[in-house]
Structure 1
Amino acid sequence: MSREAAEAVLTRIGQGTDADFPLFEAALACALHDDPDRDPAPALVLAREAGERLAERLQSESPEEAVAEALAGDLRLSGDVTTYDHPDNADVIAIARRRLGLPVGLGIFYLHAARTAGLALHGIDFPGHFLLRIESEAGPLALDPFGEGRVVLPVELSRRALRTGLMPDVAARLDLLMAPVTDRAVLIRLQNNIFARAQQAQDWPRAERSALRRALLNPADHRPWLDVAAAREGQGALAGALQALAQAQTLDGGATIAARAARERVRLRLN
């Protein structure tokens, strides 16, 4: 798949509804958009095996046990604790090859397997560390894909929330800490991770690609275009940065002040 073809896929998916959002297809298109010169077959095979293994284990195990045993036990998916910031950890093709990744990158395989097996599993936009929510007989449980799918107890959730800087009254609210998010939001969070790491490394082409993917996946949001503009400015592509800022202003009047100031700064650099 070429980069242009991947953009076409992401455009189509972005224009669809949250209810019909094809998470794994979109994640694979994101990976190929970042680096088209790769074979997606290993990721497709792993995704299929994950659904099959989970369906088998659900016949004799509780949902939370089946998820952990199928994805982390059978298929050896685990968090990369030694090279956490490596770009491969946020790419489903590379994750399939290495069996290592970031929490949200691993979570995409967990969520896809659950969708295939008919299991209710959702992402949690937990601060600082992506988690999964699964329904059990005792109520909702949090699972950590980075920690081999293990259950995170409520007291540990609150402790982690406090470490991220949340106020104690918020950190004690499990209904807030475990609020489910859409699959679209999960994939956008992954692209945000990629953008942040690329920006820190001043890898502006990669930063631009990740920001553009966010813009395609959520076409009503002006904020990705501000990041596209920043990445283009980092590359010296000032005319392209102005185009992205204009798109941000078109999408949301609330972006007008920030985009106008940025456009004026870029315009002055052009003169």
Structure 2
Amino acid sequence: MGDRLTLPDWNVLAAQADEALPLLETALLIARDEYPDLDADLYDTLVQSHVAHLRPQIDLIDPWPLKMAAINRHLFEELGYSGDHEEYYDPRNSYMNQVFERRLGNPISLAMVQMEVARRLGVPLDGVSFPGHFLVRLPVDDGILVMDPFNGGRPLGADELRERARPHLGGDIPDDNALLRILDPATHRAILVRILRNLHGVYVERDEWDRAARSADRVLKLMPDQTDALRDRALAYLKMDYAQGARHDLARYLQLAPDAKDAPDLRDKLIELNAAAPRRMN
């Protein structure tokens, strides 16, 4: 028996360098908020079983793109991991225990499966925080191979990538340099924050303000002064009638982002909360 997988402590993650943040372990830590009885070791063992099945084949293949094709074939065709096209915004698509169990996910959670398996097999697969759908990238001799985990790991050419980016760039088509910047590898912290931001958006749409606040709070455990998360947690606290927490977060947000577009409205809200505080105490 090997060592059991130990999940990190939320309170130490902010101090860790990006490259030291354990990706799968922290993603499972996010899932444990919603599934407190989650057995992390079970999912680590599952990933390892995928790796063990693939290793004899992968070791016989030399070029990384062909190794990656074999990995994708096993994950998406043989095991049936798939993008959830019918219920894209189902929160289960962001919780890794559910992704492993249902073999359904969104782009970033399926990328996590790909990356975890590929990296354990020595294939240097990275995530890409592409606008819209999260992607993955692999170095090749003459550049990078970009793939879409939501659609079976399908390779994407430069023209398609430009068209995908265009709606998020005000209609402008990125040139080669701009596209390469967009395709920079995502840090572990950026990937984890994007998972949490996705969850926050889902829970806001559902008016589940306690879960929306929790998602923003977890972003702040990774990045204590992330201004969007401070604002989002404050607004969720207001919906929950937790005025003290809202006051604290709004004050910090306005200190860090005094010129933000929403700063005047939020400053008025903070003044209103501060004025109401003595009455609440009385």
Q: What TM bracket, shorter-length normalisation?
A: 0.7 to 0.9
Amino acid aligned to 2:97 = I
Alignment of 1:119-138 (within 5 A): 119-138=123-142
RMSD: 2.5
Q: Distance in 2 between matches of 1:202 and 1:159?
A: 33
In the alignment, does 2:210 pair up with 1:208? no
Amino acid aligned to 2:257 = G
Could you say what secondary structure the match of 2:257 adopts?
helix
In the alignment, does 2:247 pair up with 1:242? yes
Shift, 1:45, TM fit:
2.8
Alignment of 1:44-55 (within 5 A): 44-55=44-55
How many aligned residue pairs are there?
264
Counterpart contact for 2:131–2:165, Cα < 8 Å: yes
Shift, 1:158, TM fit:
1.3
Could you say what secondary structure the match of 2:18 adopts?
coil
Q: Distance in 2 between matches of 1:139 and 1:69?
A: 23
Which one has the largest radius of gyration? 2
Counterpart contact for 2:72–2:114, Cα < 8 Å: no
In the alignment, does 2:274 pair up with 1:267? yes
Alignment of 1:62-77 (within 5 A): 62-77=66-81
Moved more, 259-268 or 202-211: 259-268
2:235 corresponds to which of 226, 230, 236: 230
Alignment of 1:1-271 (within 5 A): 9-61=9-61, 62-170=66-174, 173-248=178-253, 253-255=256-258, 258=263, 260-268=267-275, 270=277, 271=279
Q: 1:69 to 1:187 in 2, by over 3 A?
A: same
Q: Distance in 2 between matches of 1:217 and 1:50?
A: 29
Shift, 1:22, TM fit:
0.5
Could you say what secondary structure the match of 2:137 adopts?
strand
Q: Distance in 1 between matches of 2:163 and 2:27?
A: 31
Using the size of structure 2 for normalisation, the TM-score is: 0.83
Counterpart contact for 2:227–2:256, Cα < 8 Å: no
Q: Distance in 2 between matches of 1:212 and 1:228?
A: 7
Q: Distance in 1 between matches of 2:70 and 2:272?
A: 54
Q: Distance in 1 between matches of 2:106 and 2:269?
A: 32
Using the size of structure 1 for normalisation, the TM-score is: 0.86
Counterpart contact for 2:23–2:188, Cα < 8 Å: yes
Shift, 1:171, TM fit:
6.0
Q: Distance in 1 between matches of 2:50 and 2:10?
A: 24
Identity of aligned residues (%): 29
Q: 1:207 to 1:60 in 2, by over 3 A?
A: same
Could you say what secondary structure the match of 1:181 adopts?
coil
Amino acid aligned to 1:129 = H
Unaligned runs of 5+ in 1: none
Shift, 1:256, TM fit:
7.8
CA deviations over 1:108-158 (Å, ceiling 9, x no partner): 122222332222111111111100011123420111111111111222111
Could you say what secondary structure the match of 1:129 adopts?
coil
Q: 1:69 to 1:255 in 2, by over 3 A?
A: farther
Moved more, 93-102 or 35-44: 35-44
Shift, 1:55, TM fit:
3.8
Counterpart contact for 1:50–1:109, Cα < 8 Å: no
Q: Distance in 2 between matches of 1:150 and 1:136?
A: 16
Counterpart contact for 1:13–1:22, Cα < 8 Å: no
